[in-house]
Structure 1
């Protein structure tokens, strides 16, 4: 029920995602190069010499008072809260609340958080602080899992209210109705992106990749057969987001048994039935479910989430001592 109510708010005209389209062609060219390094841990480590200094602003009062403060008080676990790119003080002036202007913004956000998480992880170890875990909720949960895939040693990873890919969130979940499909469809058919080489490059690279063939075929037939007038945009959205965000195209964490995915039993934002089970992608990881939906899970299940996080950190400590 709460997911449906919140859905009405985010799908209002003032909160539409990707209102300015897919993004610049040059952005995708740069993202393609970066993705090839991110999906392989050794290649990713060679990239880190050029990472700039990070600035973290702690504006997330809910995270501070419902997660970080209790963890410190009850379990003596300290937290670093990283503000998402495109959120808070890092939000572009042209952006309305958390509704990203371009599809490429979502990809840049994920890549930036992966890089920043690694740098923070490395700094903590250099200061003798540890063991280290990483967690996040919703989009932050998925970015936490991506970050966990590149970290060079065993780390506690607890992604909350996320799953294997961001594609189903925007093409199958309730956020589907908050996307400017008319803008995206028009741009694919009539703009520079649809006529550019990057469009063909993405198509060719995805189609020729064996692990993406099935998903490409399924997306094509599924959305083309639907009554939706924006089938081409939805099909391409699934292809692009799977290509950049699906966990199966990234490294498995050093110790996947220290990864616990927390899901909500009635989550309408992250429909898990449209993506592979994370336990098949990362053998050894586990899944724990909490009552309620996406929104109520984040608001009402904080105690349970902290308990899962603490247990995972204890498991990490035990594995390091052994």
Structure 2
């Protein structure tokens, strides 16, 4: 009788899913239009300027004022959607596609509870998460804990997706960095709104996979302690696009041809090395330690075919005091079946924060 290790099965499931999704011609590959030319150079410079922000040089961020409409409500809770102009500066705004200039946010909150006695967590999008539904399912049960859920629609996703882009497959490498930088700016502005305009007593930021990387960056750069919850996420996009399953979804030949036009002909190995250098800018271990690392909880999968264990542990090591919780399964199965563990981590991380003092 042949027995199959369950962990191996989860790992294989991730690769089978990735093969079906990324190695077939169901959808085009990532970066089919190359590196992004001058936009990539701009983003490389701007991301390098992120690191000193934590010293207060770029705080507070632009205050956004979403225009709200109620889309659903019950006796105890309401769901509103808001739109606002992205707070990105002029350089970033010019680099973003016009479709991404207006941000959309969902806001699920309890009724009849003062914000000062509530917490709110901003949920950032993982790769391919174009809508609010999955994150609403994650955050909805937290209402009974007096935890509101704010959901940001990422640039390049949902209604903000460029006309020529199919699904989540970004057209240029620069789009990945631009998506990340704009998401960080927007999430920071939303946290500032929750703090200074809405008056929430505690705040946090979370995300799955790519959204977890962005959540870690936002938590790192926030000037006061917030709960930071990266779920099933690597310490860097290098892990996903150069080492993991997504390397099979990358248009390496198009990237090689684009470099050949710009410079001299390069081997595929040299192209991959160039990609590593560019995506090293997303390495969260280079970011400052969050103000309260005890309120940082990573949730990672034991048999993740996308995110290896060492990647999660690298960030935990860089942020002493943070916690890693392991769930049994792979990337896909954990994404589907471990919402309870994700919610528990959110509650626990928020409980490690002090309530904000109410003004006299």
TM-score, normalising length: structure 1: 0.81
Kindly state the Cα deviation for residue 50 of structure 1 after the two structures are TM-superposed. 9.4
Equivalent position of 1:185 in the other structure: 256
Kindly state the Cα deviation for residue 156 of structure 1 after the two structures are TM-superposed. 0.3
Please show how residues 111-122 of structure 1 align to structure 2 within 5 Å: 111-122=181-192
* Structure 2 CA distance for aligned equivalents of residues 246 and 77 of structure 1: 30
Provide structure 2 residue ranges, at least 5 long, that are not aligned to the other structure.
Answer: 1-11, 65-83, 87-102, 107-130
Aligned length: 283
Kindly state the Cα deviation for residue 239 of structure 1 after the two structures are TM-superposed. 1.1
Provide structure 1 residue ranges, at least 5 long, that are not aligned to the other structure.
Answer: 196-223
Instruction: State whether residues 31 and 251 of structure 2, in contact with CA within 8 Å, keep that contact through their aligned partners in structure 1.
Output: yes
Kindly state the Cα deviation for residue 308 of structure 1 after the two structures are TM-superposed. 1.1
SS at match of 2:149: coil
Candidates 29, 39, 60, aligned match of 2:132? 60
Instruction: State whether residues 172 and 271 of structure 1, in contact with CA within 8 Å, keep that contact through their aligned partners in structure 2.
Output: no
Kindly state the Cα deviation for residue 274 of structure 1 after the two structures are TM-superposed. 6.0
Candidates 317, 340, 353, aligned match of 1:280? 317
Instruction: State whether residues 37 and 44 of structure 1, in contact with CA within 8 Å, keep that contact through their aligned partners in structure 2.
Output: no
* Structure 2 CA distance for aligned equivalents of residues 101 and 164 of structure 1: 23
Instruction: State whether residues 169 and 271 of structure 1, in contact with CA within 8 Å, keep that contact through their aligned partners in structure 2.
Output: no
Equivalent position of 1:314 in the other structure: 351
Kindly state the Cα deviation for residue 63 of structure 1 after the two structures are TM-superposed. 1.2
Equivalent position of 1:81 in the other structure: 151
Equivalent position of 1:104 in the other structure: 174
Equivalent position of 2:16 in the other structure: 5
Equivalent position of 1:230 in the other structure: 268
Kindly state the Cα deviation for residue 15 of structure 1 after the two structures are TM-superposed. 3.6
Kindly state the Cα deviation for residue 317 of structure 1 after the two structures are TM-superposed. 3.6
TM-score, normalising length: structure 2: 0.73
* Structure 1 CA distance for aligned equivalents of residues 228 and 335 of structure 2: 17
SS at match of 1:80: strand
Q: Deviations over 1:89-123 (max 9, x none)?
A: 11111111001111111101111111111101111
Candidates 278, 291, 294, aligned match of 1:254? 291
Instruction: State whether residues 37 and 43 of structure 1, in contact with CA within 8 Å, keep that contact through their aligned partners in structure 2.
Output: no
Matched, 1:31 2:69: no
Instruction: State whether residues 60 and 192 of structure 2, in contact with CA within 8 Å, keep that contact through their aligned partners in structure 1.
Output: no
Equivalent position of 1:266 in the other structure: 303
CA RMSD of aligned residues (A): 2.4
Matched, 1:17 2:52: no
Equivalent position of 1:92 in the other structure: 162
* Structure 1 CA distance for aligned equivalents of residues 134 and 56 of structure 2: 36
Instruction: State whether residues 44 and 150 of structure 1, in contact with CA within 8 Å, keep that contact through their aligned partners in structure 2.
Output: no
Equivalent position of 2:208 in the other structure: 137
Q: Deviations over 1:45-65 (max 9, x none)?
A: 25835988343244321111x
* Structure 1 CA distance for aligned equivalents of residues 28 and 160 of structure 2: 18
* Structure 2 CA distance for aligned equivalents of residues 148 and 49 of structure 1: 17
Q: Greater helix percent: which structure?
A: 1
Matched, 1:305 2:317: no
SS at match of 2:325: strand
* Structure 2 CA distance for aligned equivalents of residues 296 and 317 of structure 1: 34
Write out the 4+ residue segments of structure 1 that deviate beyond 6 Å after TM superposition.
318-321
* Structure 1 CA distance for aligned equivalents of residues 135 and 313 of structure 2: 29
